[in-house]
Chain A
Amino acid sequence: MAALLEIAGLEVRFGPVRAVDGVSLDVAPGPFGLGLVGESGSGKSTIGRAVLRLVPAAAGRIRFDGTDVAGLSGRELRDYRRAVQIVFQDPDNTLDPRMRVGPAIAEALAAHGIVPRREAGPRVRELLEEVGLDPDFASRYPHQLSGGQRQRVAIARALSVQPRLLVLDEPTSALDVRAQARILELIGRLRGERRLAYLLITHNLAVVSELCEQIAVLYLGRVAESGPTAELLAAPAHPYTRALRSAVPEIAASARAARIVLHGEPPDATSPPSGCVFHPRCPLAIDRCAVEVPSLRPIAPGRLVACHRAAEVLAGIEMPERSGAVAPGAVEPGTVAPGTVEPGTVAPGAVEPGAVEPGAVASGTVASDAEPSDAEPSDAAQAGAAQPAPPSAPQG
């Protein structure tokens, strides 16, 4: 099946900063969800904006239904912008505080010539009902609604023009957990009813786990790892994915994985680290990581990963939990004992049989790649402390 949206080699620059640096992703026709996951500054929102042509692509190609989006203008661009809609984190920035909910939705219908503004009433009521709101809310102002209700209005307005692809940019991050649960439920229902395809942008892996078939984990504008959601979460192949996964707070004590705390901030995108951009924060970094950029390569069916030690990570190598108890200055790089990786710590049982492409993990690979003497984690505390965070860094 041909992809609905194809992103190939996308680059977005803000001055000297490469906010997105060579990202390729596919979104299948709906119902289908692709989760874009990463921290602030990972480029996930910028990708969403580039898809909508809200920011220009410096290189690469975005195709929708086989057509290059960059070449669109006039009527075609209008049609494209109708077919692709965005829902932002904060509905307050989307809704005009002085405009009642009904007219706000009718405006979208009229702008795309779907229903004349004056006759939009019944359609607006239907849309409000579809997103689980009382149709009488049409006469309310945004401030008379709760945050979750406002987000539903934003979704109703995006849906009003019958889009084929939604970009959902942290749609629940500003909401209470109960409101979040209801919005996620709504997205799940709409994807089936409307056969929607969407890009779901979030920093929380738990949010994508139910709603997305595929996940792409982004770090500093690059894809660290991508693949089918269930498999990727069951056995991450990138240390960053593991850390992200372990950072999700869990209610059940039994479900809590050993927390891998990443110290320091994501690096400054104006001067990305050499080699693998994740290496200064990576608990498994070896000498090679500081020098050689890992290419995004297949590791299992449908799964891509950019990590020199991916095979070991996939096989369940133990990752040191680094304790925050270490005060910077007190620690010399060599003294961080937990960073020492022993070949024997690989737990083969952690990998489901069949999850790994035959030959992808040769038994010898694990032992030969894990050189205890080379496992020299950078001093996380110092890295964190020394990390400049210039105001110019774009927010992801």
Chain B
Amino acid sequence: MRFGARAVVDLDHLGVDDGEIVGLAGESGSGKSMTTLAVLGLANTVGATVAGSIKLDGTELVGLPEKVLIGLRGSRIAAIFQSPSMAFNPVFRVGDVALRALRRHGLTGSEATDRVDQAMRGVLLSPDLLRRYPSQLSGGQLQRVAIALAVALRAEVLLADEPTSALDVTVQAEVLELLRELRSRDGMSVLFISHDLAVIAELCDRVAVMQSGSIVEQGPAGQIMSAPEHPYTADLLASVPVIERRA
């Protein structure tokens, strides 16, 4: 990916298998979020150009016309972001936003309502909350509504960009549990982006560590956490605060 002549992300290869949760770790500016935008086909909206190949189930996404991408976004690839309040228009009830998205993808009104209600229960929220405005929900609830929307659309891949960084640890634990369950129940594949390796360690099967736009190390989560090979990974690991276990 480039901004003009400046390359910001230079990924060799990053894959997410069916039903797999892959963690993409790195600090601000490492190119994690730009990678999300590239996968969504939205890199041009921030003025970046994408070269190379991004394939979804064998289909090349790079270079697809916007019309086709619109159909894919949401229904096949969904995304949730750090600040769920940005994902909802503050002047619409969250349920209206969700229903509109489903109708956009070809569902009838009653089908859409059923799907959204069911998805809300799937993320342990009452469908009653759909009548609320975003400001009337807590951050954790709103993030779960965003996840419910991805579930309702039957997205195969979920891009989760720092989805728990703005949440309390208790709510974070709940959202992580939910993602784990979506994987095992619905077989959803997740690309989980975070600067916090401890969160990635808890959730992900595999990890890729990014620094300055490149992947410096990737492999099974357990292996990378216990024996990091790259000094940057080791540094990130050492930065995670741990509860001291004193004898």
Interaction A to B: yes
Chain B contacts of A329 at CB under 8 A? 121
Q: Which residue of A lies closest to B134 (CB)?
A: A391
* 8 Å CB contact of A386 from B27, B126, B195, B235: B126
Min CB gap A266→B, angstroms = 9
Q: Are A209 and B241 in contact (CB under 8 A)?
A: yes
Q: Are B121 and A328 in contact (CB under 8 A)?
A: yes
Interface size class of B (residues with CB under 8 A): 35 or more
With A177-B197, A209-B241 in contact, is A265–B124 under 8 Å at CB? no
Number of interface residues of A (CB under 8 A): 53
Chain A contacts of B243 at CB under 8 A? 205-206, 209, 233, 245, 248
CA distance A206 to B198 in the complex (A): 12
Q: Does A59 contact B (CB under 8 A)?
A: no
Chain B contacts of A309 at CB under 8 A? none
- Mask of B159-184 contacts with A, CB within 8 angstroms, 1/0: 00000000011111110111001000
Among B137, B168, B235, B238, the most chain A Cβ lie within 10 Å of the Cβ of: B168
* 8 Å CB contact of A250 from B139, B168, B201, B246: B201
Interface SS of chain B: helix
Q: Are A243 and B27 in contact (CB under 8 A)?
A: no
Q: Which residue of A lies closest to B126 (CB)?
A: A385
Given A230-B244, A389-B136, 8 more A-B residue pairs with CB atoms under 8 Å apart are A176-B28, A181-B239, A184-B241, A210-B244, A249-B240, A251-B198, A251-B240, A265-B171
A-binding residues in B (CB < 8 A): 27-28, 121-122, 124-126, 128-129, 135-141, 168-174, 176-178, 181, 185, 195-199, 201-202, 222, 225-226, 235-246
B-binding residues in A (CB < 8 A): 39-40, 146-147, 176-181, 184, 203-207, 209-210, 230, 233-234, 243-253, 255-256, 259, 261-263, 265, 323-325, 327-329, 381-382, 384-386, 389-391
A-B pairs with beta carbons under 8 Å apart, 18 shown:
A178-B195, A180-B239, A204-B241, A206-B242, A209-B241, A209-B243, A210-B244, A243-B170, A244-B170, A247-B170, A249-B173, A250-B201, A253-B201, A253-B222, A261-B177, A327-B124, A328-B124, A391-B136
